[in-house]
Amino acid sequence: MTEAGAMSQGSWEQLGRQASHPRETGPGAEAPRQLLTFSVGETPYAVPVESVREIVRIRPITPIPRVTRDIRGVISLRGEIIQVVDLRVRLRLPETHSTRASRIIVVHLDDGRLAGILVDAVREVLRVSGDAIGPSSGGEGGIVHSLCARGEEFVSLVDLDKVLEVDDGD
């Protein structure tokens, strides 16, 4: 699958179907992990599919006064108020304007909270075995907790708790 900029509505439906149908595994084989991959800049990142509630197009974001720059504001999604974190700013990358490929990934945390993560583009659902995932070097502000080898590139797995924790020092 190519960058999300080329995705159509049919492709989003296909992406959802891929995520909902796990592949068969042999006896004693570890079930593959499913990761939603996305881009911030040219760098690929991922979150576990089971943490993703939905992916939405960019919509008006209402700013919140006196919060850190990485908190873009809140959106209303079917009557729910959801805080949106700009992952580009959280990673201390230069700010850019949203594009047609930009998306808000709505995630749910173990404690029941919902939040949105603004990313440059959604890529694909990736199925990987547990042995393809290893620890990270601890860079990127502690947001990345592990790396996944995918061919010759590495996909950084994001720690959602770290991304969504409030940072007083900006």
Residue 125: the pLDDT is 93
What are the distances in angstroms from CA 76 to CA 41, 58, 79, 108? 26, 12, 6, 15
**CB contact at 8 A, 55 and 105:** yes
The β-bridge partners of 23 are: none
pTM: 0.76
Nearest Cα neighbor of 85 from 60, 129, 117, 63 is 117
Instruction: Look up residue 149 and give its two tokens.
Output: 């080898």
Mean pLDDT by 10 residues, the chain (170 residues): 43 53 49 90 92 95 92 93 94 88 93 92 89 68 80 87 66
CATH of 4-18+33-164 among 2.40.110.10, 2.40.128.50, 3.30.70.100, 2.40.50.180: 2.40.50.180
Q: List alpha helices for 2-71, DSSP H.
A: 9-20
Residue 63: the pLDDT is 94
Residue 4: the pLDDT is 42
SS3 state of residue 84: strand
Residue 19: the pLDDT is 52
Domain ranges of the chain: 4-18+33-164
Single-letter amino acid code for the residue at 18: Q
Distance CA 160, CA 88 (A): 14
